């Protein structure tokens, strides 16, 4: 681990076979990069993938019809899975990678049961 300042450390994590990402953590263990990739199950049983810094608020926005255009006509939505905390850049990359997967694999990829190379 590389020290950045007395209160922060830099660690590297591997996110479900996607890539190694750098995550900054406070010495107490709290991550400072709070972007998360999330997967919602819509009322029509379809899946929606997005990123957010505040999942609870974002899901409430979706359910209020003020979220993504895709979810507005598919209410209500429920959280199916969410990633660990990432930098915004890594969250966007991971979101793209999840969206490239068939629906049958998205939940397992996001929950870490399958990596993106298909190894279980």
> What gap in Å lies between CA 76 and CA 95, rounded to an integer?
21
- Flag whether 105 is in a domain: yes
- Flag whether 106 is in a domain: yes
> What gap in Å lies between CA 115 and CA 120, rounded to an integer?
7
Task: Give the total number of structural domains in the chain.
Answer: 1
- Flag whether 21 is in a domain: no
Q: Give the residue numbers spanning the domain of 95.
A: 35-111
> What gap in Å lies between CA 62 and CA 80, rounded to an integer?
14
The CATH number linked to 55 is: 3.40.1440.10
- Kindly report the pTM of this predicted structure: 0.71
pLDDT tens digits in sequence order for the chain, 120 residues long:
343 334 344 444 444 444 444 444 444 544 456 899 999 999 999 999 999 999 999 999 999 999 999 999 999 999 999 888 888 888 998 899 899 999 988 888 887 766 655 444
pLDDT of residue 90: 87
- Flag whether 103 is in a domain: yes
- Flag whether 87 is in a domain: yes
């Amino acid at each position: 681990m590389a020290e950045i300042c007395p209160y922060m450390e830099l660690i590297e994590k591997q996110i479900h076979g996607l890539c190694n990402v750098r995550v900054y953590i406070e010495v107490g263990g709290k991550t400072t990069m709070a972007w998360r990739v999330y997967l919602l199950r819509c009322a029509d049983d379809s899946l929606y993938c997005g990123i957010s810094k505040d999942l609870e608020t974002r899901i409430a926005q979706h359910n209020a019809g003020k979220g993504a255009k895709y979810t507005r006509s598919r209410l209500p939505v429920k959280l199916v899975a969410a990633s660990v905390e990432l930098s915004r850049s890594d969250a966007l990359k991971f979101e793209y990678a999840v969206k490239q997967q068939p629906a049958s694999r998205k939940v397992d990829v996001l929950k870490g049961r399958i990596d993106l190379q298909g190894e279980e």
